[in-house]
Amino acid sequence: MTRLGLGACGLALGLAGWLGCSSNETVGLGTGGNGTGASGNSGGHGGQTTSSSTTSSQTGGSGGTTTSSQPGGAGGAGGSTTSSQTGGSGGSGNVGTGGSGGDPGETDADADGWTPNQGDCCDTPNLCSAPALVNPGAYEYPGNLVDDDCDPATSDLVAPADCSPAPLSPPTTSDALIQAMDLCQTTTENPPLAQKKWGVISTALTLADESTTLPANDNVQAGVLAQYGSDAQQGKPRRGPTMASLSSGTARAPGDAGYVHPQNGSQAGQTGNFNGNTQVSAPASFLGPNGGKFPSPANCPACNGAACTQAYDSVSLRARIRVPTNAKSFSYAVKFYSAEFPEYLCQAYNDFFVTLLTSSWLPDPNANPPELPLPADGNIAIDALGGQLSVNNGFFQVCFPPLGSPPGTCPSGTLELVGTGMGGWGNNLTDGGGTEWLTNTAPVVPGETMEIEFMIWDAGDHNVDSLVLLDRFRWSVDASPVGLSK
Ligand SMILES: [Ca+2]
Ligand SMILES: [Ca+2]
Ligand SMILES: [Ca+2]
Ligand SMILES: [Ca+2]
């Protein structure tokens, strides 16, 4: 959805109201044309704006006037604002949906898309402090003593029930992986307003081309795990009994059925390097902004050659999700391991883990400090320097310092490699490494439908594998910039 950041909310039932876009902190101050409600089957559209700037004294336009049984009209688009003004964002999905089921004359006082009779349990400030954040599309924010989602079945005081699937029960499905990440609520693309809750709309498990289904023989590249390695704390899920895992080898630890060691060893019989026999182009949306090839860290040579677009042994977990109306960001926990360390530092073999987000979020041009736009290539799993998760990333700290490495290399040591196979063959923990548990955040537009894809692949060839753990997906009512943090 293109959002110019200048409109008033779409208004149901023809209610005038430039206030109260629940999805925005900001309020549009431009002049919107007044709506011209049709008396037929649909409400009026708001008037078009002029291109001239406006002053702060002007208010957004009214929505179209409708009859009580008709869908509401779209609110007028706000005019341009001066640099000192704060522009409101355009209305998000509730334009024109207000009419169904409303009582004659009933208004959506907080303009959150639901009238009281449509399920809004708090439409006015005498019932709760932030009415626009309380409606059936919200997520239950625990402990604020508010029934945020207007659903008594989701308690404010009790954590939501776990939906973890059984670990290590192949074939691993995309639904099971998303549930293992603690995304438990599901919904449909276009439900009736009363059922328009947030939730997972659909999931898929493909190769990195986003279309080819992961072959059954390669299903071992995905896993629902209760434990990875021997570490009694760091090898465990961050929430609930399981976590999701994706790998360019096997999403398994030594001892698990189907496990293949991530690389060959120097001794006879030390055979590894899972070969999924798949090779696809990475998504054009990711490659394009990177000059048509895999990005390289600033201090490493650029990738060179035809293989710089090719994802070997890839696996991609995708989810299409309607964002809660009271969520401004989300986060999940991620832990990356690679057998590429240290011998392939800065080489074209470096494996990739990327998290591609499709969201309509845009920076607020008036934010202070300024907000950065979403990354052009869509990858939100990046450090403060924009570097993706790889052996070259600054978060790659669980490892044994190679000879001659600068002080401070591998500050987290090797304990978290024990039992993962990523540290090398046998008890050797010097060959391979990983990150600690990190948190990856990104902003979203409340109520929007977003897509998120978690992808991992071997670069250069199918050898020497990497693995990622994913867990504890959760929403936040607070805004958060894109990036990884410890
Ligand atoms: Ca309402
Ligand atoms: Ca409300
Ligand atoms: Ca509730
Ligand atoms: Ca492989």
Per-residue pLDDT of 153-180, as tens digits, reads: 999 999 889 999 999 999 999 999 999 9
Average pLDDT over residues 394-401: 91
**Cα of 229 from ligand 4 centre, angstroms:** 19
**Greater model confidence, 14 or 428:** 428
The CA–CA distances, whole Å, from 213 to 174, 204, 278, 289, 375 equal 11, 8, 11, 25, 27
**Cα of 467 from ligand 4 centre, angstroms:** 10
| Whole-number pLDDT of residue 323 | 98
Which residues face 61 on adjacent strands? none
The CA–CA distances, whole Å, from 210 to 222, 352, 455 equal 15, 15, 9
- pLDDT for 196 beyond 70: yes
Comparing C-alpha atoms, which of 393, 392, 409 is closest to residue 401?
Answer: 409
| Whole-number pLDDT of residue 92 | 38
The CA–CA distances, whole Å, from 307 to 349, 459, 476 equal 10, 8, 39
Q: What is the DSSP string of 232-277?
A: TTTTS-SSSS-EEEEESS-S--TTSTT---SS--SSTT--------
**Cα of 194 from ligand 2 centre, angstroms:** 13
Residues lying with their CB under 5 A of ligand 2, a single-atom ion: 110, 112, 120, 122, 131, 134-135
Band of residue 116 on the pLDDT scale cut at 50, 70, 90: very high
Which ligand is in closest contact with the Cα of 133? 2
**Cα of 334 from ligand 3 centre, angstroms:** 28
**Cα of 72 from ligand 1 centre, angstroms:** 13
Tokens found for residue 18:
């430039």
Report percent pLDDT > 70 for the chain. 78
Lowest mean pLDDT among 215-219, 400-404, 448-452: 400-404
Comparing C-alpha atoms, which of 110, 136, 198, 216 is closest to residue 445?
Answer: 198
Residues lying with their CB under 5 A of ligand 4, a single-atom ion: 248-249, 274, 313, 458, 462, 465
Q: Give me Rg for the CA atoms of the chain.
A: 25
Assigned domain for 205 exists:
yes
Assigned domain for 438 exists:
yes
Tokens 């907080």 belong to: 110
Assigned domain for 25 exists:
no
**Cα of 77 from ligand 1 centre, angstroms:** 20
Q: CA 126, 130, 135, 140 torsion: positive or negative?
A: negative
**Cα of 259 from ligand 4 centre, angstroms:** 12
Give how many domains the chain has, as a whole number: 1
Average pLDDT over residues 468-479: 97
Band of residue 78 on the pLDDT scale cut at 50, 70, 90: very low
Band of residue 391 on the pLDDT scale cut at 50, 70, 90: confident
**Cα of 152 from ligand 3 centre, angstroms:** 5
Report percent pLDDT > 90 for the chain. 66
Is the preceding omega at residue 167 within 30 degrees of 0, hence cis? no
Which helix (H) or strand (E) covers residue 178, if one does? helix 174-180
Which ligand is in closest contact with the Cα of 313? 4
| Whole-number pLDDT of residue 42 | 33
Average pLDDT over residues 429-455: 96
Contact 315, 246 (CB under 8 A): yes
Q: Strand, helix or coil at 172?
A: coil
Assigned domain for 92 exists:
no
Return mean pLDDT, the chain.
82
Is the preceding omega at residue 406 within 30 degrees of 0, hence cis? no
**Greater model confidence, 125 or 98:** 125
| Whole-number pLDDT of residue 296 | 85
- 408 Cβ contact partners less than 8 Å away, ≥ 6 residues apart: none
Q: Residue 343: how many CB atoms within 10 A of its CB?
A: 14
Give this prediction's pTM: 0.79
**Cα of 293 from ligand 1 centre, angstroms:** 47
Comparing C-alpha atoms, which of 448, 309, 438, 422 is closest to residue 381?
Answer: 438
Assigned domain for 96 exists:
no
- 255 Cβ contact partners less than 8 Å away, ≥ 6 residues apart: none
| Whole-number pLDDT of residue 121 | 96
**Greater model confidence, 231 or 300:** 231
Assigned domain for 10 exists:
no
- pLDDT for 29 beyond 50: no
| Whole-number pLDDT of residue 300 | 82
Residue-wise pLDDT for 325-346, tens only, equals 999 999 999 999 999 888 777 7
- 438 Cβ contact partners less than 8 Å away, ≥ 6 residues apart: 333, 334, 335, 336, 395, 484, 485, 486
Assigned domain for 330 exists:
yes
| Whole-number pLDDT of residue 104 | 57
Assigned domain for 87 exists:
no
Lowest mean pLDDT among 1-10, 142-151, 168-177, 234-243: 1-10
In terms of residue numbers, what domain contains 308? 174-485
Lowest mean pLDDT among 3-12, 62-71, 422-431: 3-12
